Chain A
Amino acid sequence: MSPPPSVGTLDADVTSPQPHAPTQRATVPAARPRAPRSTAWLGLLPPLVLLLSLEVAVRQGWVPRHLLPAPSDLVETFLQLGQATVTQHVLVSSLRVLAGFLLGALLALLVGAAVGLRKPLEDLLDPSFQALRAIPSLAWVPLLLLWLGIDEAPKIVLIAIGAFFPVYLGVSSGLRDVDRKLVEVARMVGLSPLALTRRVLLPAAMPAVMTGIRQGLSLAWMFMVAAELIAATQGLGYLLTDGRETGRADLVLSAIVLLAVLGKLSDSLLQWWERRLLRWRDTFQSPR
């Protein structure tokens, strides 16, 4: 209302506490180191502690060795199997996952985009996909064996089914939920529908798409095991069956450890890619 007097008092208020302000400011950065030390190594702690206590428990005879072998026994098992055999099993399984995942994810990208961009298509297809999604992986196995035999085809199709649904959900929901406000900005500059999709809808949907892709890959690993448990002569799922049939817990555990490591590695790879791709995201990064 009456700026001159209020501005005057404001000035006085601003200047009076100034002697304190610089000292306060100086202490804050000093108390908090500029580059906080990474705490990522903490993630190694739980597995290491677990392995160590297992080793001790087995050596002390607290748990029967034939049911729960010590970590050192697992190393021995790996050596016994030989590098070539282990590599072979890992390679076969990884290739199956890769093929099935690529097949499922690519199909899901196409179908998900169509459903996410066109409401009639969503109404047409989405309910059926939601129903198919609810089918457990093992329920597909007998059908795929009947239809496709026991070669590679049923395994890869099963893995593709596993990868399909998370990616489909990510793409379709990501495109459907794009912020109306950003779309309006694009409309104001007269973007064509195609340019709108390419320059606004797709980038805006990327975070959801990437989440779907990561979930799809982890489901692909799970479905791979389901596929290999049934009919396989090679691969990590085969190793699991073989271990059970011959009563060798060390073999089963070796396969489980390999699955954990491979799953983690492939997800870390995707996570790295996601971070690069979505560098623009304004995520919560304050010190916790």
Chain B
Amino acid sequence: MTALLDVHIHTKRYGERTVLRDLSLSLDAGELVSLVGASGCGKSTLLRLIAGLDHDHTGRIRLDGQEVHGITADIGFIFQEPRLFPWLTVAENVSFGSPRSPDTEARMAALLAEVGLSDHASALPKQLSGGQAQRVAIARGLFRQPRLLLLDEPFSAVDAFTRMKLQDLLTRVVHEHGVTVLMVTHDLDEAVVLSDRVLVLDQQPGPLLDTLRVPLPHPRQRDDDVITQSRTALLRRLKAAHAL
């Protein structure tokens, strides 16, 4: 079986500085994979390359065997901040960029129901809490029915309780939609609780340092022993890699 996403970045530079070098990773369809590593090690840059927001690199990115050139509807992106358009309603934000039709209206309504915001369809972003706004962003990320969803520290700006709720929401909708997920995070608990695999990126530009599998089916309990053990293992590997 070929991987859904297959990435090999030969080099990515910002001016003189090399950010990524000889980095390979691949994701199977339906996998939920996290990317961890020290700040500034190029995690977000990697996501931007895969998303097609940045073309300036040497290497190749393949989605289902097809070379990816630029932005495609098959790849969705959920940013660190909700990034909602403040002049559009919640509903218009979710379906942004798609022409109005009974089909898109129905899909938008269904997604809003999934993230529990049906009552807020005609609200403006300024009326939402941080957690609600990020739920709208999740709905928007799924609206175009991508096969791969990229998330860049999606829950880092909300409080701990909201974060857990959003994580549960994300795993639920991701499994319902059968989307493959690659998520950058700083939160080791988040990485272990959500992912099937955790990839550790080196501080120096280079290949992946390590991969940790979390052998536990979804839905998971946060107090499961496997979670705790995996978290400890991840922490040790990061320490060993001098990422901490």
- CB neighbours (8 Å) of B223 from chain A are 2-4
- Give residues 71-100 of B contacting A (CB, 8 Å): 71-73, 76-77, 79, 81, 83, 85-88, 96-98
A186 within 8 A of B: yes
- CB neighbours (8 Å) of B88 from chain A are 280
CB closest chain-B residue, reference A202: B87
One of A1, A189, A195, A280 near B86 (C-beta < 8 A): A280
- Give residues 96-143 of B contacting A (CB, 8 Å): 96-98, 124-126
Stretch at the interface among A177-185, A242-250, A261-269: A177-185
Q: Answer whether A190 and B71 are a contact pair too, CB < 8 Å, given A1-B228, A181-B79, A280-B124.
A: yes
Q: CB-CB contacts of B64-75 with A at 8 A, as 1s and 0s?
A: 000000011100
A187 within 8 A of B: yes
CB closest chain-B residue, reference A181: B83
Do A2 and B97 have beta carbons less than 8 Å apart?
Answer: no
CB closest chain-A residue, reference B85: A182
Expressed in whole angstroms, the minimum distance between the Cβ of A6 and any Cβ of chain B is 10
One of A185, A190, A199, A204 near B79 (C-beta < 8 A): A185
Number of interface residues of B (CB under 8 A): 25
- CB neighbours (8 Å) of B81 from chain A are 181
Expressed in whole angstroms, the minimum distance between the Cβ of A203 and any Cβ of chain B is 5
Q: How far is the CA of A195 from the CA of B98 in the complex (A)?
A: 11
Do B231 and A1 have beta carbons less than 8 Å apart?
Answer: yes
CB closest chain-A residue, reference B48: A184
- Give residues 161-195 of A contacting B (CB, 8 Å): 181-182, 184-191, 195
Do B83 and A182 have beta carbons less than 8 Å apart?
Answer: yes
Which interface class (under 10, 10 to 19, 20 to 34, 35 or more) fits A? 20 to 34
- CB neighbours (8 Å) of B96 from chain A are 185-186, 189, 199
Q: How far is the CA of A269 from the CA of B73 in the complex (A)?
A: 44
Do B126 and A282 have beta carbons less than 8 Å apart?
Answer: yes
- Give residues 1-19 of A contacting B (CB, 8 Å): 1-4
- CB neighbours (8 Å) of A190 from chain B are 71-73, 97
Expressed in whole angstroms, the minimum distance between the Cβ of A17 and any Cβ of chain B is 17
A200 within 8 A of B: yes
Expressed in whole angstroms, the minimum distance between the Cβ of A273 and any Cβ of chain B is 15
Do A188 and B71 have beta carbons less than 8 Å apart?
Answer: yes
Q: How far is the CA of A279 from the CA of B89 in the complex (A)?
A: 12
Do A281 and B86 have beta carbons less than 8 Å apart?
Answer: yes
CB closest chain-B residue, reference A187: B71
Do B86 and A188 have beta carbons less than 8 Å apart?
Answer: no
Do A281 and B83 have beta carbons less than 8 Å apart?
Answer: no
Do B85 and A188 have beta carbons less than 8 Å apart?
Answer: no
Q: How far is the CA of A206 from the CA of B87 in the complex (A)?
A: 10
Do A189 and B126 have beta carbons less than 8 Å apart?
Answer: no
Give the A-binding residues of B (Cβ under 8 A): 51, 53, 71-73, 76-77, 79, 81, 83, 85-88, 96-98, 124-126, 144, 222-223, 228, 231
Q: Given A200-B85, A282-B86, 10 other A-B contacts at CB below 8 A?
A: A1-B231, A4-B223, A181-B81, A185-B79, A186-B96, A188-B51, A188-B77, A203-B85, A280-B86, A281-B126
Nearest first, the 4 closest Cβ-Cβ pairs linking A and B are: A189-B97, A282-B126, A280-B87, A3-B223
